[in-house]
């Protein structure tokens, strides 16, 4: 808390700033993809990854979310550093295939 205590904001709504869990850079949340965890459906064949991470581009899904640049580089570094578990407060194996697929498709169309 240094500098001027009051920041004058002129005709611009305050933007919420989030931290990308991959590269740890702070960005306006509009530039980041929200991701949330979903419990795996009961009766699913693979029990190895009990928690599924899904993209939430509309930011409507309930639950604890985290933020990530929608690029595979940030996905990879988040995965490598196990940032998903920390950010989303889950432990155990995480299934990020839905997220990978989302980023791949997004890349193809851009
Ligand atoms: Zn990033």
Render pLDDT for 66-97 as a digit per residue (tens, 0 to 9): 999 999 999 999 999 999 999 999 888 889 99
Give this prediction's pTM: 0.77
16-46 pLDDT per residue, tens: 999 999 999 999 999 999 999 987 666 655 5
**How do the domains of the chain map onto residue ranges?**
19-108
Residues 6+ apart with CB under 8 A from 91: 85
pLDDT at position 106 is: 85
pLDDT at position 74 is: 97
pLDDT at position 3 is: 59
Q: Please, what sign has the CA dihedral across residues 21, 24, 28, 31?
A: negative
CB-based neighbours (< 5 A) of ligand 1, an ion: 20, 22-23, 69, 74
pLDDT at position 13 is: 62
CA of 51 to the centre of ligand 1 (A): 22
User: In the sheet where 51-55 sits, what is the strand order?
Assistant: 65-68, 33-39, 51-55, 94-95
pLDDT surpassing 60 at residue 10 = no
CA of 69 to the centre of ligand 1 (A): 4
Domain 19-108 bears CATH identifier 2.40.10.220: no
CA of 6 to the centre of ligand 1 (A): 29
């Amino acid at each position: 808390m240094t500098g001027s205590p009051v920041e004058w904001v002129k005709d611009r709504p305050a933007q919420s700033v989030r931290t990308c869990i991959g590269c740890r850079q702070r960005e306006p949340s509009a530039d980041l993809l929200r991701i949330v965890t979903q419990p795996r459906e009961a009766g699913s064949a693979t029990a190895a990854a009990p928690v599924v991470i899904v993209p939430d581009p509309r930011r409507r899904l309930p639950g604890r979310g985290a933020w990530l640049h929608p690029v595979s580089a940030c996905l990879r570094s988040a995965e490598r550093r196990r940032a998903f578990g920390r950010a989303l407060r889950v432990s155990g194996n995480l299934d990020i295939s839905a997220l990978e697929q989302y980023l791949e498709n997004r890349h193809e169309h851009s």
